[in-house]
Amino acid sequence: MSSVPLFDILIRNATLQGDPSLVDIGIRDGRVAEIVPVAQRQETKARVEEDAGGRLVLPGFVDTHVHLDKSCLLACCRGGGGGLKGAVAAVSRLKQDFTEEDVYRRGARTIEMAILQGTMQMRTHVEVDARVGLRSFAAIQRLKRDYAFAIDLSICVFPQEGLLNDPGTEALLEQALNGGADLLGGCPYTDSDPSAHMERIFAMAQSHDVDLDFHLDFDLDPSWSHMDEICRLTEAQGWQGRVAIGHVTKLAAMDEGAFERHVTRLAAAGVAVTALPSTDLYLNGRDEGFRAVRGVAPVHLLAERGVTASIATNNVLNPFTPYGDCSLLRMANLYANLMHLGPDGFSQCLRLITQDAARLMRIEDYGLAPGHAADLIVLDATDEDEAFGSIAPAQMGFKNGRKTFERQARILR
C-alpha cells in the first residue's frame, strides 16, 4: 500500500503571512492536514489541486457585527437623514411592513457579497420588537441554514428601540432565545431607563446562558459613559470574556486620562470592543460639518493594552450607512487610513478582522494551522502589505475544505 498521503484538496504555491517562502496546504476531511514548504515538496496525491500562484492565503475573515435584517434598504429610505435618531426612525417606520421573504431576499444579497469578499464567520444583530415581531428573526434563521456551506452565521437578537420603554419586546426576545438565537444584544442609549435596560439584558443572558453584545456610547460626548456599568455587571455575573460592546465612539473624544482609565477597566473586566468605521464616520460629528472629528474608537490601541477588539461592517446600504460592499478588508483599510497607520500597522489591522475577531466570537479552531477547520481565502496579492494596502480581492475561498467561490479577473485585448 502506498505511503504517499492523499488529500481531498491540495493548494500549491501559497504564501502565508510573514513568510515569503512558498508552501503547499493539504486539506483532508474539512481540516488543514499539512502545511509543507515547496522546497521540501515530495510526491503528493490529492483529489483536487489548486494553484495559488504565489498569492497570499489567509484564514477566512470574521465579521463580528452586521445588520442583515435592515441591509439593502437604500432605495426606500431617501430623505431618512438626521443622524442616528433619524436613521432609527426611518427603519422603525419601514420594519413594521417587513415580511420574512423581504428580509430573506435582502439578507441573502448581503451575505453573498460578504462571501465573495472572503468572510466566513459573521455575527448578525437582528431587531426584535412589537413592530417587526419575529419575522426578521425567522428570515435570518433560514439564511443561517441555507448559507451554512459557505459561512457560519451567529444570530444576536436585540431591542434597537429600547426594552423597558417598549412593551412586548422582552417577551419577544425570550421567544427568540428559546427559538434558537445564539446570543443577546442591548441598546441602552435608546431606552428611557438605560441602567435597568442593561440589568435586565444581563439577567436574560444568564437565564439562557448566552453571550452579550451591546450597542454602546454611540456619540462624542465624553462627559458620561455606560462602560463602567457594563464592566460592573460583567464582573458581578461572571461573564468575563462573554461581553462585547460596539461603536463606543466616546473613546474617540476622551482626554488621555479618561481614555486610559476606561481601557484599563475594559481589560480587567474582559469586555471586548468593536469599531464600526463606516457607520461611525457617517453618523457622528454632523453638527461640526466639514470640521467633524473622526469619531471612531481606536481599537488598535485597546488591543495593545489587552482588550479583545475587532473591526466590523455594521450596516450596508441603508439609512445608517448608505455605503458598503461587505469587504472587511476595505473596512480595515479605512480604519488604518483614519488612524494614520502605515505598513507597520497593517498586520495588526488584519488581526482585527481575523484572529482577534475570532477570539471575540469565541471561535476555538480558527486559523491556518494543522488540525484547524480549513476555512481559508486566497487574495490577489503576494504579501500582506500589498494585500492590505491595495484591498486585494479574494480570488477563491474554501469553507471546511470545500471550495465555495472563485473570481476570475482578466484583461481582454
Same fold, 6-59+366-406 and 61-360: no
What does the pLDDT read at residue 137?
98
The Cα-based distances of 51 to 6, 15, 322, 361 in angstroms read 17, 11, 37, 31
pLDDT tens-digit readout, 21-35: 999 999 999 999 999
Mean pLDDT of all residues belonging to the chain: 95
What does the pLDDT read at residue 402?
97
Q: Which amino acid is at 352?
A: L
What does the pLDDT read at residue 3?
61
Which strand (E) or helix (H) includes residue 158?
Answer: strand 152-158
The Cα-based distances of 207 to 47, 166, 212, 237, 380 in angstroms read 48, 21, 12, 11, 46
> For residue 79, what pLDDT band results from cuts at 50, 70 and 90?
low
- What's the whole-number mean pLDDT along residues 257-268? 98
- What's the whole-number mean pLDDT along residues 246-258? 97
Task: Provide the 10 A C-beta neighbour count for residue 394.
Answer: 24
pLDDT above 80 for 110: yes
Closest CA to 377 of 385, 386, 368, 369: 368
Say which range, 120-129, 280-289, 299-308, has the weakest mean pLDDT: 280-289
Give the C-alpha separation, 51 to 42, whole Å.
16
pLDDT above 80 for 76: no
Give the C-alpha separation, 346 to 386, whole Å.
10
- CATH of span 6-59+366-406: 2.30.40.10
| Three-state DSSP class for residue 37 | strand
What does the pLDDT read at residue 286?
87
> For residue 86, what pLDDT band results from cuts at 50, 70 and 90?
confident
What does the pLDDT read at residue 81?
61
Say which range, 85-89, 95-99, 266-270, 371-375, has the weakest mean pLDDT: 85-89
pLDDT above 60 for 80: no
- What's the whole-number mean pLDDT along residues 225-252? 98
pLDDT tens-digit readout, 146-203: 999 999 999 999 999 999 999 999 999 999 999 999 999 999 999 999 999 999 999 9
pLDDT tens-digit readout, 378-410: 999 999 999 999 999 999 999 999 999 999 877
pLDDT tens-digit readout, 54-63: 999 999 999 9
What does the pLDDT read at residue 92?
86
pLDDT tens-digit readout, 308-351: 999 999 999 999 999 999 999 999 999 999 999 999 999 999 99
CATH T-level topology, domain 61-360: TIM Barrel (3.20.20)
Q: Where are the domains of the chain?
A: 6-59+366-406, 61-360
> For residue 1, what pLDDT band results from cuts at 50, 70 and 90?
very low
Exposed e or buried b for every residue in 17-33, given b needs 16+ CB within 10 A? beeeebbbbbbbebbbb
End-to-end CA distance of the chain: 50
What does the pLDDT read at residue 412?
86
How does DSSP assign 289-325, residue by residue? GGG-------HHHHHHTT--EEE--B--SBTTBS---
As given in the structure block, the three cell numbers for residue 47 are 483529489
Q: Which of 3-7, 36-40, 203-207 has the highest mean pLDDT?
A: 203-207
Locate cell 465624553: which residue?
222
| Three-state DSSP class for residue 219 | coil
What does the pLDDT read at residue 12?
96
- What's the whole-number mean pLDDT along residues 277-283? 96
Exposed e or buried b for every residue in 347-357, given b needs 16+ CB within 10 A? ebbbbbbbbbb
Q: What percent of the chain has pLDDT over 90?
A: 87
Identify whether the C-beta of residue 372 lies closer than 8 Å to the C-beta of residue 32. Answer: yes
Q: What percent of the chain has pLDDT over 70?
A: 98
